[in-house]
Chain A
Amino acid sequence: MIAGRGLVKHFGATRALDGLDLSVRGGEVHGFLGPNGAGKSTTIRALLGQLRLDGGHAEVFGADPWRDAVAIHERLAYVPGDTALWPGLSGGECVDLIGGFHGQVNRRRRDELVERFELDPTKKARTYSKGNRQKVALVAALSCEAELFVLDEPTSGLDPLMEAVFQQVVAELNGEGRTVLLSSHILAEVEALCDRVTIIRGGHTVSTGTLEELRAGTLTTVEATTPDRPRGLKDIDGVTDLDHESRPHGVRTTLLATHAALPEAVAAVSAARPTDLAVRPPSLEQLFLEHYQESPLPGGVPAATGGDAR
């Protein structure tokens, strides 16, 4: 659906994209994550043909986004993170105007979405709050008959109820086989919707894969209380931060294990007949913080990390 390899984009001296890779498969919801200024919106606007890439190769539906922009746009719908509307037009007019430019609108779904997002389509756009402007953009884009939905922080400004509606609608559209590229900072949204995610930082891709695969690249915490100290843990490759602490009822053991070392580590702990055992994968927050912060890059130093979790 979308294939980007080694994307490069300069803005003057700033290297906004620095060899970024992104691949979105047909029929998936693909999460696109990264800290502020990582290049998410730049990538999306390059994929829409609104920016001209300085290097790398990008394809959307197998076509060049700069040359064949309009042909690509016929098959996708887009929601920007901050929606500018026509102040003098009503919300309903704005929806139909954007839909009109897209060309293929599902009228039934449009009316249904206006209802579900509780949008008052008769108010003038200049009187809308940020959340309501965002709803206009969402209704307009999601009612289009598109194969691909490109959503750039689409729920910024929405309340939690509307956020839930958004997740339902995206899940439904995905259920019909449509593809979604979702740039988001809301981790619950990413966890609920996304089949695969790509994490970028400083203009290049840090990791990409399913959430399980990403977790596989990180360390799991194991905590156990056993009558006696478990044996052989020290010798397992991939076990770190091993710590034993004597307690009145036994020994409290904590350790960090890589994905590969986990079965062996758990087996070793089990062999010591634990009275209490907890195995904790990192929370989503931890996972992302780890990827966002890992080896901070001073502006524009090339790093040859093409996705360490693949």
Chain B
Amino acid sequence: MTAPTPARRPGVLTGTIRLVRLALRTGWPVLLGTVVLAAGLVTLVAGSIEALYPDPADRAQYAATVGSSPASEAFNGRGYGLDTVGGISAYEVGFMGQILFPVLALHLALRHTRREEEAGRTELLTAGRVGRLASLVAGTAVLTLVCLLTGAAMAAGGVSAGLPLAGAAWYAAGNALLMLFYGAVGLVAGQLAQSARTGYLIGLVALAASYLVRALVDGLGWEAVWASPLGWTAEVRPFADPRPWPLAAFAVGAVVLSGAAVLLARRRDLGAGVVPARRGPALGRRGLGTAAGLAWRLNRGVVLAWTVLAVVWAGVFGALTQEMADLVDANPAMLEALGVERGSDVVTSLAVVVVILAATALAVQGFGRLGVEETQGRLGAVLATRVPRHRLWGGWSAVVALASLASLTLGCLTLGLVTWAVTDDRDALGTAAEVGLGYAVPVLFVVAVVAVLRAVGSRWSGLGWLLVGWIAVVGFLAETLRIPDWARELSPLHLVGTLPQDDADLLAVAGLALAAVILAAGSILLFGRRDLAAG
């Protein structure tokens, strides 16, 4: 960095240590949760792989089938040392890790910088003996500390699950630095955006772009692993022949990004971002003063973001179908190992799970927004008008449910159309449509569950993310983690079956539909009877 280091200016860092202590004191549950979640995932996967593939022969079989399938490589990243337990573990953590670890770090970075500022607490504190950069530097310190702890816990967990010490250490270092890098992306996003929400959006768009670039590079086998930071993690090759350059790249990247955040922070006003707030319309659009209109106005950004993600995702994986399908189809052993009849089905089934994650995450966020409205007292203000509770609730729920279905539909259609275009197989569109139709009811069931959680009260609404997370875990790691059947069936997707490989279990679909209707009706009753949290 060419800029003078902040320490040379007296005052701008004053109070940093105090702020770090405050952050640890008020934020420790989330910080601890981050460490446990990230290290726990790796430990569980490693322990499970150890039991699933105890013999070198099993592992060789794995390397020859799953490990060399370009569909899996596109999803998980490249695999190295797949003849070792560690190598398989790292490969299997792949998709989940590449999403989970950066998101955790992004959340941490924004939570401890922009969100505090947005809430007005930074204003209160920087009127005391606290320097201009103290808040950012304290956030960076907390982030670094958590990444270090996660790395240490991950290495320890890996060793306890039977991985070799050196490999586990390299692997943990790679993931800790990956987190630090995306945390630094979050720090910059927090300086650019005026609201934490926009900050998340910037960070998640950066992450999604990194992932899709990596998926293309790995799925098509291009020699361009440097193109996406998410590809660097695998290139550490911790369980084959460890190489330090990706670690250095992450560290340099994190330092450069944090430096950029500092430069931005030094110049800007407190409470402001670099991206100025845009002006809005002077008049409310017709229909804004209705339950559905309000729900749409407050959720349209989130709806748009998740839908675009689902569509782009489906498009990228649809475009990869040809290459992947050819390789899979040419290898009967692989078809059997993956449990499919056609290579393109592997891509479809993996891609659709992500589309569904987007559709259900949209629902959780949509109802989460209703919770924010309630705790901030704005919902109380709206309900103090002529709108009865059940109508507001019904309108909001309908908008969220329709938006979830819309993003599922658009995602599946995109997948089908792009697959059809690249493979010239007209059936691809029909298959994708069938899969979308088969999973529509499970998606609505998730919406209904989230609605009931919100109707009960704010305390339980976080459980919605748990359900979405579980769908992801069952969708991608059910075999890897040897999850028992009863636990798999907590995922409504699994109840219906793995589409398109299986036929949809119509009994399960009917049961889920009935449950969704009952839950939706129950949510209206529950919300009509309880106290509002504020306002």
Contact of A101 with B18 in the complex, beta carbons under 8 Å: yes
Decide if A92 is an interface residue (CB 8 Å cutoff).
no
Most buried by A among B10, B12, B127, B268: B127
A50, A71, A85: most-surrounded residue (chain B CB, <10 A): A50
Chain A residues, Cβ within 8 Å of B12: 70
> Which of B22, B26, B123, B124 has the largest count of A CB atoms less than 10 A from its CB?
B124
Asked if B125 is at the interface of the complex by the 8 Å CB criterion, the answer is yes
Chain B residues whose CB sits within 8 angstroms of the CB of A68 once the complex forms: 11
Stretch at the interface among B180-188, B235-243, B269-277: B269-277
Pairwise interchain contact A70-B123, C-beta atoms closer than 8 A? no
A100–B22 Cα gap in the complex (Å)? 11
Q: Please name the residue on chain A nearest to B9 by beta carbon.
A: A67
Question: Counting CB contacts under 8 A, is A274 at the interface?
Answer: no
B270 and A51 contact, CB distance less than 8 A: yes
Render A33-65 as a binary contact track against B, CB cut-off 8 A, 1 for contact: 000000000000100111110000000000000
Q: Does B129 contact A (CB under 8 A)?
A: yes
The verdict on A101 contacting B130 (CB below 8 Å), with A80-B123, A86-B26, A137-B124 known, is: yes
Does any Cβ of B come within 8 Å of A98's Cβ? yes
Given the interface pairs A70-B14, A86-B26, A101-B15, the reply to whether A49 lies near B132 with Cβ below 8 Å is yes
A102-B120 in contact (CB<8A): no
* Contact of A70 with B276 at beta-carbon distance under 8 Å, contacts A50-B126, A88-B26 already known: no
Of the candidates B121, B131, B267, B271, which one forms a contact with A69 in the assembled complex, judged by CB atoms under 8 Å apart?
B131
Instruction: Let me know if B165 is at the binding interface, CB within 8 A.
Output: no
B123 with A50: CB separation less than 8 A: yes
B129 to A: closest C-beta gap in Å: 5
User: Which single residue of chain B is at the shortest CB-CB distance from A86?
Assistant: B26
Within 8 A of A (CB), among B70-126: 119-121, 123-126
Contact B128 A103, beta carbon cutoff 8 Å: yes
Contact call A100/B18, Cβ cutoff below 8 A: yes
Total count of chain A residues near the partner, CB < 8 A: 33
Q: How many residues of chain B are within 8 Å of chain A by beta carbon? A: 28
| B 343-361 to A, binary, CB cutoff 8 A, 1 in contact else 0 | 0000000000000000000
Which residues 64-102 of A have a CB within 8 angstroms of B? 68-71, 73-74, 76-78, 80, 82-86, 88-89, 97-98, 100-102
Query: Which B residues are in CB contact (< 8 Å) with A49?
Result: 126, 132
The answer on a CB contact under 8 Å between B26 and A89 is: yes
Q: How many angstroms between the C-alpha atoms of A272 and B125 in the bound complex? A: 65
Residue numbers in A under 8 Å from B130 (CB-CB) = 70, 73, 101
Chain B, 233-264, CB within 8 A of any chain A CB: none
How far is the CB of A51 from the nearest CB of chain B, in Å? Answer: 4
Task: Assess the A98–B125 pair: CB atoms within 8 A.
Answer: yes
Instruction: Given A45-B270, A89-B26, A101-B18, check contact A70 B124 (CB 8 Å).
Output: no
Chain A residues whose CB sits within 8 angstroms of the CB of B15 once the complex forms: 70, 101
- What residues of chain A lie closer than 8 Å to B120, measured between beta carbons? 80, 82-84
A50 to B129, Cβ gap below 8 A? Answer: no
In the complex, what distance in Å separates the CA atom of A156 from the CA atom of B229? Answer: 50
Inter-subunit contact A84/B124 (CB<8 Å): yes
Q: A82-B120, A101-B15 are in contact. Are A70 and B131 (CB under 8 A)?
A: yes
Besides the contacts A68-B11, A71-B11, A83-B120, what 20 more A-B pairs have beta carbons closer than 8 Å? A11-B276, A45-B123, A51-B270, A52-B269, A69-B126, A70-B15, A73-B129, A73-B130, A77-B128, A80-B120, A80-B127, A84-B123, A84-B124, A98-B125, A101-B15, A101-B129, A103-B128, A103-B129, A137-B124, A150-B127
Chosen A-B contacts, 30 in total, with CB atoms closer than 8 Å, are A11-B272, A11-B276, A45-B123, A45-B269, A45-B270, A48-B127, A49-B132, A50-B123, A50-B127, A50-B269, A50-B270, A51-B270, A51-B272, A52-B267, A70-B10, A73-B126, A73-B128, A80-B123, A80-B124, A82-B120, A83-B124, A84-B119, A84-B121, A84-B124, A98-B125, A101-B15, A102-B128, A103-B128, A103-B129, A150-B127
Interface residues of A (CB under 8 A from B): 11-12, 45, 48-52, 68-71, 73-74, 76-78, 80, 82-86, 88-89, 97-98, 100-103, 137, 150
